[in-house]
Structure 1
């Protein structure tokens, strides 16, 4: 692969009522990165709690967007100035020196990728499913693994499909697999199991599996969202 000169990273975090997590995440990002992060952009979708205040107190940029993770991430990308975009959920914590890992991948000619994933939970059930995040196949991908992509490729791919209220990460990454060599970095992000704890581990994983199956069988964004709304929200 063609070697590239280093390009700085814009971190984009879509949020909605994330005052519990956003402060810890922003502290973590500053503590675990080196000198490759150009900016951190928090994109708020209309929080009614103190998310925005907490983010501003940590000295990052806060943008206001229409609600919807795809819309928020596209809006953040539109205003980002780094040549590499790093999309991150508010309850997902990247590994130490994550920015250096991304920079090295981009320098080696890779245009898009993610990290492996672990849950912040001791459940063997969740450890089993998170193990599959190391497999470089599109069905094993998800937004909780985070996503880095060059701004150039993001533009060529037309960004996230805003018709998707859920499954926007999977849909976008599925397109990236057709456009470039997608890479899985060997380090792990640590993501919250809060939704599993709230609903039940097996029950939630079952519903996520059905959503994957429905997408595979051709269900569109509205059908996926209606299933999610009936069974998970």
Structure 2
């Protein structure tokens, strides 16, 4: 039913946890396959993908290019785009299945779904970041890629898919969806907090905000990718 597409680049430290969270849904037939779209990893990413029985495709590095390459190989009627450092919490599959059923049976129009953002860290700052992300989604209907995106293959094709962007590929696609076509699921997508811990929560938060402002000022994504690091 669902083809999960995960873009990777030297993602070995987190990929095992991301894939493990998909196993129950695979056993119950909700997930049909997992596709790893790799951008030239030099660590054990590809070995992990092979050992896990995923479909591995190599693509030029850049999340937009990698995601679209993975989607092109997908066999499922639904696509779930997921980052390699994001773990879906138990219960996500049942909620996703109910959402897909509503769309497939026509009880609601074509739509895409995303998960609640969470960080795998304790303390005040991680909760503050989560609150700001929730506020951004509520005010602007603008989830990021680390919240996952569940969308039918047909709707994805109508939107034109991911563009070959090295950064902001998630924002670029979501902006082509209407507000009524975006549904927030209650299940959490728990993302690694390593970047925040390494760079500092405040610095990382202001950096992300600055990159978004530059994007809306039409700074080329390749420049944004260099700033992102």
Cα deviation, residue 13, structure 1:
0.5
Match for residue 57 of structure 1? 51
1:1-233 aligned within 5 A: 8-31=1-24, 34-109=28-103, 110-134=110-134, 135-138=137-140, 140-162=142-164, 164-177=165-178, 181-225=181-225, 229-230=226-227, 232-233=228-229
Does the CA contact (< 8 Å) of 1:138 and 1:174 recur in 2?
Answer: no
What's the CA shift string for 1:142-193, capped at 9, x where partnerless?
111111111001101111121x211111111111236x52101112111001
- Assess, with a 3 A threshold, how the Cα gap between structure 1 residues 65 and 222 changes in structure 2: closer, same or farther: closer
CA RMSD, aligned part only? 1.8
Does the CA contact (< 8 Å) of 2:167 and 2:222 recur in 1?
Answer: no
Mean Cα deviation higher: 147-156 or 21-30: 21-30
Does the CA contact (< 8 Å) of 2:81 and 2:148 recur in 1?
Answer: yes
Which 5+ residue runs of structure 2 have no aligned equivalent? Answer: 104-109
Q: Structure 1 length as normaliser, TM-score?
A: 0.87
Q: How many residues align?
A: 220
Moved over 6 A (4+): none
What's the CA shift string for 1:6-33, capped at 9, x where partnerless?
xx10000110111111122212210466
Cα deviation, residue 214, structure 1:
1.9
